[in-house]
Structure 1
Amino acid sequence: MGKPETVRTLAAAFLATTLALGSMPEAYGQAAPAPGGGTNTGIATGSGGGLMDTPTPTDYLTRSIVRNINAASAECAAYEPVYRIDCLRQRLLDIARRIPKGKAYDEARQIVQRAAGRLGRIQAANLDAKAPRMRSRGNARMKETKTYTAVRKRNLEKAMEAARQVIEEAQTQLLRASENSEKRASHYRDIAAAVGSTKVLLRSI
């Protein structure tokens, strides 16, 4: 083979390798470490979905979950108290959808999802249909457009108390789940602490 053919062959091989590497999936803008090292290519993007079949918790993924909760809390705190239950409900549901699938985080995802559902029932029972809806400004981690509904002001204190109980129970469930596995203990405790911190939002004044 002559020199021109050799150069063309090497250039084609280099281009193919570059394209293959450039197509690898990413999460939150970077490839996530896999539990056993390297990168996990089963990740979905930060805008929705989660890892499939995640066997072991990782610091990277747990930090992502905690940061999502903290970002949701910061967003909801910016709204009037009457909108905060619905804001927290919708954002916890978004967060649950992003929690990786697989035995590592399944229980955490289910607990967060149940809490969102219970907040939804509180919201529905105390809905103020006449109040204007609040357009979401989004947050640092979740950019989806949302519309939040208000609870009736005369029911706000009662609704907030019920919502706090939901959050407290979710936090307790996460802490209990952490006792079932040494590998996930610290990870679930971190998630529990983040969930518990959202109680500060649920004050009527």
Structure 2
Amino acid sequence: MPPKSSQRTSLGSSQPQPFEAAVTKLCSAIANAKEKDGEIKAQSIITRLKEFLSDYRKAKKILDSPIISLVVGSLENDGDNICSRLDPSIFCTIVELVLQSEPCIEGERCLFLLAKSLFDDARDPENKVVVENRKGKIGRECRQRLLRYFIDEETAPTMRRWAGVLCVQLFSDCKENCQWMEFGPEDYRWEPLRHCGYRHR
């Protein structure tokens, strides 16, 4: 059963205000685009958020769940999943936000919505090429980090489960992502496993 997000909407987190402001701007951009058609983009905001996230990873800082609650609230439009319209860079940034957060039902919900959007898009045969290209673009940015998160036994089981579901959807019927897994440089492909203490011989 897919996870349901809580009703918590206020931030109330311990993250620095500039970071909270960037997340709020992203969510506002997504919300404002709901009544319009076409792909949702927010490149300048995404660039800033990625800088924050890079610093957070280096410092091993964990995001509070209210941040993710705000994000998941922006992805649902009266029950409709808007993730199919997200520019790949926004899609990947949301993945990064979730993977950098504390385990929470909101994070599970985000991963579910992202995975479901890929599954739903692939159901239309006429979208095959478009969906495959989209999966490839998304994969270039986040497949390694997502896979590392999924196979890490220290990851909370419920979060790990939905990360795995997203992995399946990302690699399914996407030649580029599958070739990366099968034929890419060994050092690159095995890095997620080494990160978790596995030694390839």
TM-score (norm 2): 0.31
Report which of the two has the higher share of helix: 2
Larger-Rg structure: 1
TM-score (norm 1): 0.31
